[in-house]
Amino acid sequence: MSINGETRGLSPDPAFWAGKRVLVTGHTGFKGSWLTLWLTRLGAAVTGLALAPNTQPSLFSLALADGAASHIADIRDLAAVQTCFETARPEIVLHLAAQALVRPSYADPVGTYATNVMGTVHVLEAARACFSVRTVVVVTSDKAYENREWPWAYRETEALGGFDPYSNSKGCAELVVSAYRNSFFAESGVRVASARAGNVIGGGDWSVDRLIPDIVRAFERSQSVEIRSPGAIRPWQHVLEPLAGYLALAERLSSADAAGFSEAWNFGPTDEDCRAVSYIIDQMVKNWGGAAGWHLSEKTHAHEAHFLKVDSSKARARLGWDRRLRLDDALAWTTQWYRDHDKGASARDLTLAQIEAYERLA
């Protein structure tokens, strides 16, 4: 495992998280599984709320099935969400559950809005009625911004929007957070913030129609991977980077000096790591070796943003958060995870080893 990242950023404080009752929505997903495993390692009492894993294999099934109290339910069901809150009595809520892909949102816009908008309403409504909740972090997306294909990064004060149903639903979710914060939480002592992260990569992602899993599936079969937008530029980062930001934000929101932190936050890489899709594939080909390769898709595809970056200056200045892994290192970690797992290594052990290595970089 290569560890050549820059030694910057704060690690989560085990003394803070030990014994904390934490509810993670979306804990069966890729990011949610990494986050739940990290919180469990920190000593938190974690409860998860999500649909059953929708991929086979899944990181949750391989690494977490016995590691946290798990409520398999749909956040579109308000009663089920409220029951979970009543049972778990969380102090901190980290809301990650979502329909998280652009192209499926074209096929099912109603389901996408129901999950990403009304699901967020249900989580905040349940939090409002739960006396134990003190801190809520709602994870949306860098795609929540009105994308004007600018060559510079979007700041938290830029207009929200979104061309496609997924991106637009995340912009709507941000407005929901703002309305609930102003209408219900401002005077209650509950701190509510939102987090907008760039594109994440890492081991254990087997999602359909996502770049790294598509690459890995093709390479494992010694096939050329089909790529639809090799020139599209995205803010790539290892999955642990934004997760460290969410935890840092939750810690600050829970502190005595939390004034001014209940707002929106970007967690993305530096400009040098905002690279074209073709760069990601070429590095994965180099890391994987063998017969790995790629070719351009000749099909017609739905619209997706070409150029997207977020400005994380606020998180660096006010939270002490920063990226620790350069993109090339993040890609090396990701490739190594899949290669080692393919050789029989435990998904749980691989994930915990990278969490521990990441913590040592701080």
List the catalytic residues.
Answer: 166
Distance, CA of 223 to CA of 2 (rounded, Å): 26
Query: Residue 93 and residue 21: Cα distance in Å, rounded?
Result: 9
Q: Left, alpha or beta for 160 (phi > 0: left; psi -120 to 50: alpha)? A: beta
Nearest Cα residue to 198 out of 57, 335, 31, 85? 31
- In angstroms, the CA 332 to CA 1 distance is 8
Rounded CA-CA distance 358/339 in Å is 19
CB count within 10 Å of CB 181 equals 20
Q: How far is residue 241's CA from residue 234's CA, in Å, rounded to a whole number?
A: 15
Instruction: Report DSSP state, residue 143.
Output: G
Directed axis angle between helix 30-41 and helix 240-253, to 10°?
Answer: 60
Residue 360: is it exposed, middle or buried by C-beta count within 10 angstroms (0-12/13-18/19+)?
Answer: exposed
**How far, in Å, CA of 172 to CA of 117, rounded?**
6
CA distance 316 to 241: 12
What residues have CB less than 8 Å from 216, skipping those under 6 apart? Answer: 338
d(CA 30, CA 337): 14
Round to whole Å and give the CA distance between 79 and 84.
Answer: 9
Residues with Cβ < 8 Å from 338, sequence gap 6 or more? 203, 216, 220
